[in-house]
Amino acid sequence: MRNKDNFFKADIEANNITYGFFTKKNGFSKNNFYSLNCSLSSGDKKNLVEKNILSAIKKLGLEKKKLKFTNQIHSSKVNFVDIRNYDKVTNGDGLMTKDKDIVLAILTADCAPIFISDNKNSFICALHSGWKGCLKNIIKNATNKIKSLSLNKSELFAIVGPCLNKENFEVDSRFKEIFLKSNVDYNKFFFHNINYDKYFFDMRGLINYQLKACLIKNISNIDLDTYSNKNIFFSHRYSTHNNILPTGRMINLIGFKD
């Protein structure tokens, strides 16, 4: 893991792509959105959010390319994007492209941002996976789309960014049962809180499990907790627990180098 001022990178070498899992630092927003809030739907001032987004893409040298967001809906839907549909609004939680002029963006504030590519960097994929994305297995949907588009001509790798860690992801027994109905093997990602009738959910662990189940062997993690590192990350759960909503969203960017 490498800290690049206000974004993180993994140790995986990717010669033809650049990416960053950004923190909330070094932006222009104020109050609850302080300071690099990149969500235009958060209630923040639009001009400040746009300045924040531009600042982030400039850090990666991607400001001359086309930036693509998706309308995140906590689903398992992954959309393939190219010049023909770039301008269309997409609903879903995954984006994928082979177009060298398109940059993919995912917004997070506890959910996990996930990047997938291959060792030839022939495509890029960006996923947003919270507990609903885990339950619906957006990772499996993404890798199936990669196969259907004949993109996996070489070995895949994945990078999982900062997200809510298990010690701060407390859930009830009903939550756990929903996952076990989907797959009994998911039981290993729930840990009983002996002080309460609650469980801790290891979302990062399940994401890594799902990646491996899709035969992605080269996996790197930016293993940082958004909740406990409140000074550098937005955390919806922390803000909810401390009555400081609304909160901002971090931007996570991946694109092709020139």
Q: What is the pLDDT of residue 195?
A: 73
The DSSP output letter for 95 is: E
The reported pLDDT for the residue numbered 13 is 74
The HSE-up count of residue 41 (CA atoms within 13 Å, CB side) is: 7
Q: Please state whether beta strands 7-9 and 2-4 pair in parallel, antiparallel, or not at all (unpaired).
A: antiparallel
pLDDT reported for residue 196 = 80
Find out whether the peptide bond into 41 is cis, omega within 30 degrees of 0. no
Q: Is the dihedral of CA 242, 247, 249, 250 positive or negative?
A: negative
Q: List the one residue out of 157, 151, 197 whose CA is nearest residue 176.
A: 197
State the pTM of this model. 0.97
Residue ranges, the chain, pLDDT below 50: none
pLDDT of the residue at 149: 84
Q: pLDDT tens digit string along 244-255?
A: 999 999 999 999
pLDDT, one tens digit per residue, over 207-226 is 999 999 999 989 999 999 99
Residue 3's pLDDT is 73
